[in-house]
């Protein structure tokens, strides 16, 4: 375990070196004189000279790189080049938490929802629910994130009443469906305590669905069109509420991708012999799905979730722009507009390093989930 961790960390060193090299040379890739790009063409020669000195353009490339790398490793990312001049480290420190919060919430939403949907679809493959969710998922993958965001704004914010009534009707319909199914399902169980228990579970489920729908109908949260409350300011709820629509925007496509993947893996797992033996013992189908089939089916989901985090970090650029949130995405987009190369450089570097480290964690979590990987081939 420790040795594989060491090997992985060692492999990261050259990758991170190349990443730093790439972001460092971003400044040199700007066509023309960086000083002119930053100041515009109307500055005095002294001002140009000052900017060149600030960028260290008069020194050799190697010195500049190692100076920059040293500063960066010490956590000093320099000062922004365009006014208002401020420490880039402070800027990123205030912006990164917003992006991480949205990406994390999006990840939690997509993993939870996709697991529930995939289990329900794999429960009766090829039946109506499976076909509808699979078809919808295939379509949802083709919706660009900014369009998802605008659609959510259109319905949830501009046509709130429509959504509230839809939630109410869908909740009641769902509960009725559960009740109708229960009438047939309960008689599968032997009479006595077990049948009572099965009936009780279904009744509670139906009531929970109706209760949730009514609660949402009566007290629909007032999501903001734009803006953001940080976690510390006013407790947890306002922050979660403000980040919900942006996170949901990011989650929609991921839900679709995760769900398709997990559904297919579940269906493959369900053909294994041990599932047959569990079924022969008389285990209820839901228990087999959740307890026996879910874990061995989740490996490709975890790989893809690692990659998805990269999409989420990129996608926050779009949702932060739509919902006007103070995160890394709007920082980068604004810096591109202002041609502030140093802010772009530092933000891109921070995000890339963060992404690499998260993927390392994903790699390591495999061996925790799959005992077969702990020994043998690592």
Binding site for another protein (CB under 8 A): 14-16, 18-19, 22-23, 26, 29-31, 122-126, 138-139, 141-147, 150, 153-154, 158, 267-268, 270-271, 275, 279, 285, 288-289, 310-315, 317-318, 321-322, 332-333, 335-337, 339, 341, 344, 348, 351-352, 355-356
In angstroms, rounded to a whole number, what is the distance separating the alpha carbons of residues 355 and 361? Answer: 10
**Between 17 and 66, whose beta carbon lies closer to another protein?**
17
Helix boundaries (H) for 124-227: 128-141, 145-152, 160-186, 193-218
Say if CB 347 and CB 250 are below 8 A apart.
no
Minimum CB–partner distance for residue 338 and another protein (Å): 10
Nearer to another protein, 31 or 376 (CB): 31
Which C-beta is closer to another protein: that of 175 or that of 328?
328
CB 254 within 8 Å of CB 282: no
> Least distance to another protein from the beta carbon of 355, Å?
6
Closest separation between CB of residue 292 and another protein, Å?
A: 10
Kindly tell me which of 210 and 308 has the beta carbon lying closer to another protein: 308
Distance set, CA 265 to CA 105, 223, 333 (Å): 25, 36, 39
Paired tokens of 79: 């000062």
SS3 101: helix
Measure the CA–CA gap between 136 and 366, rounded to whole angstroms.
Answer: 30
Q: Is the CB of 124 or the CB of 372 nearer to another protein?
A: 124
Minimum distance from CB of 215 to another protein (Å)?
27
DSSP 248-288: HHHHHHHHHHHHHHHHHHHHHHTTSHHHHHHHHTT--HHHI
Provide the minimum distance between the beta carbon of 87 and another protein in the complex, in angstroms, as a whole number: 20
């Amino acid at each position: 375990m420790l040795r594989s961790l060491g090997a992985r960390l060692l492999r990261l060193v050259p990758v991170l070196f190349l990443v730093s090299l790439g972001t460092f040379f971003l400044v040199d890739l700007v066509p023309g004189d960086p000083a002119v790009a930053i100041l515009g063409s109307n500055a005095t020669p002294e001002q140009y000279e000052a900017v060149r000195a600030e960028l260290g353009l008069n020194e050799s490339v190697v010195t500049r790189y190692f100076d920059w790398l040293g500063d960066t490793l010490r956590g000093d990312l320099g000062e922004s080049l365009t006014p208002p001049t401020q420490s880039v480290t402070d800027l990123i420190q205030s912006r990164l938490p917003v992006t991480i919060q949205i990406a994390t919430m999006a990840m939690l939403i997509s993993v939870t929802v996709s697991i529930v949907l995939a289990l329900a679809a794999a429960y009766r493959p090829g039946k109506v629910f499976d076909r509808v969710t699979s078809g919808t998922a295939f379509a949802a993958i083709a919706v660009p994130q900014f369009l998802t965001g605008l659609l959510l704004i259109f319905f949830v914010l501009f046509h709130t009443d429509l959504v509230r009534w839809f939630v109410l009707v869908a909740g009641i319909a769902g509960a009725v469906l559960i009740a109708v199914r229960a009438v047939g399902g309960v008689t599968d169980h032997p009479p006595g305590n077990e049948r009572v228990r099965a009936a009780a579970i279904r009744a509670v489920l139906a009531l929970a669905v109706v209760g949730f729908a009514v609660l949402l109908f009566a007290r629909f949260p007032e999501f903001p069109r734009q803006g953001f409350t940080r976690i510390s300011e006013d407790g947890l709820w306002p922050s979660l509420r403000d980040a919900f629509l942006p996170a949901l925007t990011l989650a929609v496509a991921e839900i679709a991708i995760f769900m398709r993947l997990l559904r297919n893996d579940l269906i493959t797992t369900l053909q294994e012999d041990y599932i047959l033996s569990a079924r022969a013992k008389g285990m209820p189908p839901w228990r087999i799905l959740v307890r026996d089939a879910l874990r061995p089916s989740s490996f490709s989901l975890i790989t893809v979730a690692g990659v998805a985090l990269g999409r989420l970090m990129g996608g926050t650029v779009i949702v932060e722009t739509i919902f006007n949130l103070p995160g890394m995405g709007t920082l980068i987009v604004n810096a591109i507009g202002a041609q502030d190369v140093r802010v772009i450089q530092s933000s891109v570097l921070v995000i890339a390093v963060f992404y690499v480290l998260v993927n390392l964690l994903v790699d390591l979590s495999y061996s925790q989930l799959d005992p077969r990987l702990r020994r043998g081939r690592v």
